[in-house]
Structure 1
Amino acid sequence: KRLVQILVWIIRGTPLMLQLIIIFYGPGLWLHKTVWSGNETGRITATVVAFVINYACYFSVIFRGGIEGVPAGQREAGQVLGMTKHQIFFKITLLQMIKRVVPPMSNEIITLVKDTSLARIIAAYELTFAGAAFMKSDGLTWPLFYTGVFYLIFIGILTLLFGYIERKLDYFK
């Protein structure tokens, strides 16, 4: 348990850009061999691994807080009704925890979408990278404008979706 807490502390305390660099270049430096292929697939794979590790640490803290936020009296009521620990978790705690974690979870997912632009630090071909390449090759700035509009529309759709989910989960009021 303590080792996981230290890992979460390290991941949450260091910049995602640094984690991308370490995950992509680190194994080659430490193992003296290439773990990720130098092509686009290897770069995208390293990016996915970095994002999964980073956001798993953030989500673990969100879920822990959600579970701990359910009053102990709810679990005790389940015990009085003769429920097993498994039943108490899935029928009482989990249902209340989901409502509590949707707002911070939606915030993290929106941040994840915007953080994908950091993948260019290891030369992974993503949306912002493509817009900047257009700008350099043709001297045009409109591709970056359209990139920003795309992110704004996509984040707007996610915001509406998570707002809908939050409204649907208002059954505890």
Structure 2
Amino acid sequence: RPALLADAFRASGARVFVCQPLFQNPTGAVLAPERRGEVLRIARAAGAFVVEDDFVRRLVHEDAGPLPRPLAADDPDGVVVHVCSLTKATSPSFRVSALAAHGPVLERLRAIQVVDTFFVPRPLQEATLELVGAPAWPRHLRAVSAALRARRDAMTAALRLRLPQLALPHVPSGGYHLWL
């Protein structure tokens, strides 16, 4: 809620806001289109950066509509650090992620030596490129999508059958979280 975000920046003096605008954990909510620009505007006005945790983008369910672009795609001013990962869509032991930034936030990351000293071993880089460039990668993502949707549907059906008094305020179309 943007008004609360502005108040929190004022009250705390915080200079970083970490958010998960796509299939947020634990609710599975997606940041509304009208709020996306407002979050960036408020962060910019507070002199703060936004860390966009976008790990769940590849865990979209089959029945989801078009996904919104990352917040970073609508950030001409360089306040967003976009973080994404292949771990959840592949394997817990496949620890590969990416950090994308530009402008002031990139300069700040360089100043604290987060970017320039970060190193991913070459074999892991090559394995990643091989994985995401393989013809099987889209097929794998479709299989993950179908499995997550089936699990979500099985869980919501079981909850409605066994606990009909329980409210399911939002059934997400991505990720693997279900808020009860």
Q: Which has the higher strand share?
A: 2
Larger radius of gyration: 1
Q: Which has the higher helix share?
A: 1
Report the TM-score, using the length of structure 2 for normalisation: 0.28
Report the TM-score, using the length of structure 1 for normalisation: 0.29
